[in-house]
Amino acid sequence: MSAAPVPGAASAAPADDVARSVGTKSWTPYALLSPGMLWLAIFFLVPTVMLLRMSLSSGSAFAGDGTFSFSWGALQWGNYGDAVSKYVIDSPIFQKSLIYALIATVLCLTIAYPLAYTIAFKAGRWRNLLLVLVIAPFFTSFLLRTTAWSTILSDSSIVVQFMENTGMLTVLHAINTPDSWPTWTQIFPDGLTGETRVLQTPLAVILGITYNFLPFMTLPLFASLERIDVRLIEAATDLYSSAFTAFRKVTFPLSLPGVVAGTLLTFIPAAGDPVNAALLGAANDSLMGNAIDAQFKATGNYPLAASLSVMLMVVIVTMVALYVRRAGTEELV
Q: Which residues bind another protein (CB under 8 A)?
A: 229, 231-232, 234-242, 245, 249-250, 253-254, 331-333
Shortest spacing between CB 120 and another protein, in angstroms: 17
Shortest spacing between CB 328 and another protein, in angstroms: 10
Looking at the Cβ atoms of 235 and 321, the one nearer to another protein is 235
Looking at the Cβ atoms of 196 and 242, the one nearer to another protein is 242
Shortest spacing between CB 224 and another protein, in angstroms: 12
Looking at the Cβ atoms of 30 and 240, the one nearer to another protein is 240
Looking at the Cβ atoms of 122 and 249, the one nearer to another protein is 249
Q: Which phi and psi (to 5°) does residue 68 adopt? A: -120, 145
Shortest spacing between CB 44 and another protein, in angstroms: 34
Contacts 24+ apart (CB under 8 A), 181-189: 183/89, 183/90, 183/91, 183/92, 184/88, 184/89, 184/90, 184/92, 184/95, 185/92, 185/95, 186/91, 186/92, 187/92, 187/95, 187/96, 187/99
Shortest spacing between CB 333 and another protein, in angstroms: 4
Looking at the Cβ atoms of 67 and 237, the one nearer to another protein is 237
Q: Of 294, 319, 328, 324, whose CA–CA distance to 61 is shortest?
A: 294
Shortest spacing between CB 259 and another protein, in angstroms: 13
Looking at the Cβ atoms of 70 and 252, the one nearer to another protein is 252
